[in-house]
Amino acid sequence: MTSEQRTTYGGFGRVLTRMESRSDPFRYGAGEALPPGDMDLKPLLTEVIGETPAALAESRSSFAYKCRELMEEFRGEPVLLWLHGLLIANLRRRGQPEQAAPLFQRLWAEHGAFLIDHLNSRWLVSAVTTFGDHGATEVQRRVGLSMNVLFNTMKLYEAERLHSGRTPEQPFDHPHERHRLPLDMDDFSLRSGGLDVNMLGRLWVEAEGDAVIAPLAHHLLTLLDRDAGGVFRRLQLMREAKGEPEPGEERLPLPADALRADPQFTLAKPKLGHVVPVPREASGRRRWGVVATVKAPLAQIARFAAWHLRAGAERVTLYLDAPEAAQVAWLSARPGVEVVPCDAAYWAVHGKRPKAHQQRQMRNATHCYEGTDLDWLAHIDVDEFLLAPEPLGDILSRIPSDIALARLAPVEQLAGTDAEALFKTTARRAGHGSAMLEEVYPTFGMHLRGGFISHLEGKVIARTGLPRCRLGIHALLWKRQAAENAAELTLCHLAHAHAPDWESFVRHLDFRLDRGSYRKQEDARFRLNELFSYLRKSEGEDGLRLFFEEVCTATPDLVARLEARDMLVRWTMDLDAAVEEVFGDLPDDIHEGSA
């Protein structure tokens, strides 16, 4: 067989066979079914996904499996979103129930705006492509099929392009070579070609012919136009590099306040186009606060609150995960402190108490975010402290108004320091590769992520007032995806007192191995979980002390190695003085070493 005769898939008989094998119908268990096509949809706008019903949890049918998978994805979200996903899953298979298509069409005809507001872009793409096979009108089917081809072709192309080694937003910067295009198609001219705008413009106009699909199609095309990492943006950048943009193609001006150069921050380049719309009136606002879910001795909580109030926070909101009457009474009497006891009465109002502490943190932080009157809100832990070289409110007020959040990179506190606290940075933040870790930590460096034993992801300070946003542990979530229009705070730090002394390290070790930051990861690498378990088994406490001495303690040798590589941060942190200055008096256990 010659190269001209060779086929990609072995002929379209095989193509169709493979396609059909991926669309086998769902298997339904006894009593399992989609809801009826004439069901009342309005209650599903406010009812949220909770615990999986026992019958569904025990069923082994493929339908039940898909129900459980989608319940996990949409946990805490309106049931309408879960039903929408379940209908799409059915409509992608043969032999779907007869009410599936009419019910899908009803969702979009009656509640399309709600779905656009609450679904992320991945699900919106799935929705518009489903219209291609199951639209109620010719226009819906035509637009759905066209956008199906557009997005699927983009996905194939963009995935293959990743093998070029370039990031999604990076255009090619060298002349393209002349080669024959498939099917003898004409080459595309960057200077005069209009294929891109004609294709997208035609889709926009086609969608205008149907009131149901038009808002969805126009929303997705607008997101595509704003995406900084797609083929259309790269083509436009390459076009502009060859000369001035053609009339009508000028790029939108930046906000008037958008001073893109500031020593205190850099602006991140969105990679996936997940950009939260920010009202322009957000410019110049500076009132900030802190929210944390805490379970700690009163002295530690007091230090945390006092530090941030003295640093300029207007309010510190504390969700007490295991509230004690004495803590509630003392903290509630402090100016600038808002206390929310997370007791049975609290969870009776706010839904079932999540088992995982991470989920409780997210629920509480989002509750605070949705009700706050502040301009910015930092979600951090009780052992984390914001360090800023100038008033944080001044820095936040200069961040351009189209930016939704500021990211804080962590520094990890070394044990054995006093009022002048010493912190280490990651190797990457200091401009080094990971190989540097074995020079700084000769015995254990190969097993450390960045040189830390705690998280590397840092935390965020979120601009408030943005609809449909949630505060995650390390991100501001918009439609369940991390927002990307962010400022990276370059001279500020998130000081993490993760293991400030040996006693604290040992006290938290079992919990962190089981459910916290040392828990076993899915990859097969020998990381902290395996390392600590091995040291315990083989050398006992002596092995753990050896690790703590080399990695976590401010020994003269480690301090010198860090300082020589620009990986050391020094900061004066007299926390007890902050408590006395801000609150005037100290809780009884302030000298019990509870940090």
pLDDT of residue 559: 95
> Whose CA is closest to 500, among 554, 440, 556?
554
Helix (H, G, I), strand (E, B) or coil at 470: strand
In a domain, 402, yes or no: yes
pLDDT of residue 3: 47
Binning pLDDT at 50, 70 and 90, where does residue 491 land?
Answer: very high
Q: Is the pLDDT of residue 594 over 50?
A: no
How do residues 258-274 score in pLDDT, each as one tens digit? 555 688 999 988 877 78
**Cα–Cα dist 294/177, whole Å:** 60
pLDDT of residue 207: 93
Average pLDDT, the chain: 86
CA dist 90 → 34, 63, 100 (Å): 9, 9, 7
Calculate Rg over the CA atoms of the chain. 28
In a domain, 286, yes or no: yes
Q: In total, how many domains does the chain have?
A: 2
* Average of per-residue pLDDT across 43-72: 90
Give the rounded percent of residues in the chain with a pLDDT score beyond 70.
88
Sheet with 376-379: strands ordered across = 265-267, 486-489, 405-408, 459-463, 376-379, 288-294, 315-320, 337-341
- Mean pLDDT lowest for which of 25-29, 215-219, 318-322, 331-335? 25-29
**Cα–Cα dist 233/225, whole Å:** 7
- Mean pLDDT lowest for which of 23-27, 47-51, 300-304, 575-579? 23-27
Any idea which residue has 């319940």 for tokens? Answer: 71
As to burial, measured by CB atoms within 10 angstroms (0-12 exposed, 13-18 middle, 19+ buried), residue 255 is middle
Q: Which amino acid is at 184?
A: D
- For residue 464, what is the domain's CATH number? 3.90.550
In a domain, 177, yes or no: no
**Cα–Cα dist 320/364, whole Å:** 10
> What residues make up the domain containing 25?
13-119
Contact 572, 420 (CB under 8 A): yes
For the record, the structure tokens of 109 come out as 């005809």
For the record, the structure tokens of 128 come out as 């518009």
> Who contacts 198 (Cβ-Cβ below 8 Å, separation ≥6)?
none
Buried b (16+ CB within 10 A) or exposed e, 135-164: bbeebbbbbbbbbbebbeebeeeeeeeeee
Total-model pTM:
0.66
In a domain, 482, yes or no: yes
**Cα–Cα dist 38/515, whole Å:** 45
Q: Is the pLDDT of residue 396 over 50?
A: yes
Domain limit, last residue, from 119, 150, 171: 119
In a domain, 486, yes or no: yes
For the record, the structure tokens of 533 come out as 């378990």
pLDDT of residue 171: 76
> Whose CA is closest to 144, among 454, 533, 136?
136
- Mean pLDDT lowest for which of 225-234, 295-304, 438-447, 572-581? 225-234
pLDDT of residue 378: 98
* Average of per-residue pLDDT across 90-103: 92
* Average of per-residue pLDDT across 238-252: 52
- Mean pLDDT lowest for which of 87-91, 281-285, 341-345? 281-285
CA dist 405 → 143, 281, 476, 480 (Å): 35, 15, 7, 15
**What 8-state DSSP symbol labels residue 280?**
G
Strands 486-489 and 265-267: antiparallel
> From its phi and psi, is residue 314 left (phi > 0), alpha (psi between -120 and 50) or beta?
alpha
* Average of per-residue pLDDT across 303-315: 96
Sheet with 568-572: strands ordered across = 384-387, 493-496, 410-413, 420-424, 568-572
pLDDT of residue 523: 57
**Cα–Cα dist 25/91, whole Å:** 9
Strands 476-478 and 469-471: antiparallel
**What 8-state DSSP symbol labels residue 110?**
H
Cross-strand partners of 408? 459
Helices of type H across 135-193: 138-161
Any idea which residue has 């301009």 for tokens? Answer: 375
* Average of per-residue pLDDT across 320-344: 95
How do residues 98-153 score in pLDDT, each as one tens digit? 999 999 999 999 999 999 989 998 999 999 999 999 999 999 999 999 999 998 88
**What 8-state DSSP symbol labels residue 434?**
G
- Mean pLDDT lowest for which of 173-177, 283-287, 375-379, 501-505? 173-177
**Cα–Cα dist 471/372, whole Å:** 13
* Average of per-residue pLDDT across 302-309: 97
As to burial, measured by CB atoms within 10 angstroms (0-12 exposed, 13-18 middle, 19+ buried), residue 433 is exposed
**Helix (H) or strand (E) segment spanning residue 21:** helix 12-21
Q: Is the pLDDT of residue 528 over 50?
A: yes
* Average of per-residue pLDDT across 315-319: 98
In a domain, 161, yes or no: no
pLDDT of residue 546: 92
Give the rounded percent of residues in the chain with a pLDDT score beyond 90.
55
Q: Is the pLDDT of residue 592 over 50?
A: no
Q: Is the pLDDT of residue 349 over 80?
A: yes
**Cα–Cα dist 240/191, whole Å:** 9
Domain limit, last residue, from 119, 154, 171: 119
Domain limit, last residue, from 85, 119, 153: 119
**Cα–Cα dist 225/275, whole Å:** 12
In a domain, 467, yes or no: yes
Determine the straight-line distance between the first and last CA of the chain, rounded to whole angstroms. 74
Most confident of 95-99, 164-168, 386-390, 426-430: 386-390
**Cα–Cα dist 323/300, whole Å:** 14
At residue 292, what are phi and psi to the nearest 5 degrees?
A: -150, 145
In a domain, 184, yes or no: no
- Tally the C-alpha atoms within 13 A of residue 376's C-alpha that lie toward its C-beta: 27
